[in-house]
Amino acid sequence: MEERIMDEDELRGIKKRRDGEPDDESAAGDEAEIEYEITEDAALEGADGEYDEDLVGLTPTQLKEELERREKLREEAHAEALRYRAEGEAAVQREAYDEATGCFEQSLSIEYDEEVEALYWWARTRGMTSSDVLFERETAREFAEASKPSKKLVLDAFGEELHNARAVLLEEAEPLREQVRAGQEARRAPFIANRNYYRLRFAICAVLTVLFAVGIGVSASFLLRTQSSLPTILMIVFGALTLVAVCFFLYFSRKLIVASRLCRANEKLASTEEGERLEQLEDALACLNDVLGTAEEAQDEGDTN
């Protein structure tokens, strides 16, 4: 008699149709299994369509408890964010802008909200009365990542002022750039020549120091091989030459260090008074480009919509 291996579905079907009646317990189990699979898939799948691996393998009871725990944490975080927002708004009413900035920052770190972010920039600019904070490099970078409503809010208040400031800075920076670059070019060749001068002498002194030291060692090796006083005389001579070479080595090494520092300093803007001023202007322009560039894009898109 030919034997056939039956799969689980066939066995379940036979069990259901036994004596012409379906197995109630089996049917109920199948329905529960299907329901659990649907519930589990819905719970594991997040808003972005990806599965939460931390929930995989949990029983229905464990899954329910975990989801309830997470929902409770979200509610607590939301309540805490609202509390910080309320404290920040109260601080704004008292014109305690530094305190308000801290409160809004705490609220945003817990839960992002565009309105809170707008309030945050309101506090940072002291009620839209001071744009000084926008000239700080880190703040300008932070503002570049802000939401479009926040950018538009700041631009509406300071757009014209910042545009005028950028025009003034550009007018001062352009001729200063040429002046600083010309000065760097004029100093670069003499500084490099000076560094090469001391580098060559430093290398020569280093080689001579090594050679004279070797001469001392070679002369010393002949002390026990001969009765002549020549090895002793050579040791004294090479010792004196080594001492002189070491002195020149130290002298030229110091000069080489100074010459190398001059070459490096010449490439830095802050090495001269004009260069230091240009560096300040460039930093301010970089801040304005971050602020105005991103804010103008946000305003243009807002006008288009």
- Helix and strand numbers (H, E) in the chain are 9, 0
Nearest 5 degrees, angle CA 23-CA 27-CA 30?
140
**Summary mean pLDDT of the chain:** 81
Residue partners of 202: CB distance under 8 A and separation at least 6: 249, 252, 253, 255, 256
- Cα dihedral 147, 150, 153, 156, rounded to 10, equals -50
Integer-rounded Cα Rg, in Å, for the chain is 40
> Quick check: helix, strand or coil at residue 113?
coil
Q: With contact defined as beta carbons under 8 Å apart, do 45 and 51 qualify? A: yes
Instruction: Give the type of residue at 299.
Output: Q
Q: Taking Cα atoms as reference points, which of 267, 269, 262 lies closest to residue 173?
A: 269
Q: Within 10 Å of residue 139's Cβ, how many Cβ atoms?
A: 17
Q: Determine the Cα–Cα distance for residues 200 and 211; give it in Å rounded to an integer.
A: 17
**Do residues 274 and 186 lie in contact, with contact meaning Cβ atoms separated by under 8 Å?**
no
- Cα 288 to Cα 131: distance, rounded to the nearest angstrom: 11
Q: Are 152 and 302 in contact (CB under 8 A)?
A: yes
Cα torsion for 205, 211, 217, 218, to the nearest 10°? -160
DSSP 20: G
Burial class from Cβ neighbours inside 10 Å (0-12, 13-18, 19+) for residue 148 reads middle
Could you give the CA distance from residue 267 to residue 19 in angstroms, rounded to a whole number?
A: 96
Q: Are 269 and 154 in contact (CB under 8 A)?
A: no
One digit per residue, pLDDT tens: the chain, 305 residues?
Answer: 344 444 444 444 434 444 444 444 444 444 444 444 444 554 455 444 455 666 666 778 877 877 788 888 888 888 898 999 999 999 999 999 999 999 999 999 999 999 999 999 999 999 999 999 999 999 999 998 998 999 999 999 998 999 999 999 999 999 999 999 999 999 999 999 999 999 999 999 999 999 999 998 888 888 877 778 888 898 999 999 999 999 999 999 999 999 999 999 998 888 888 889 999 999 999 999 999 874 455 445 445 44
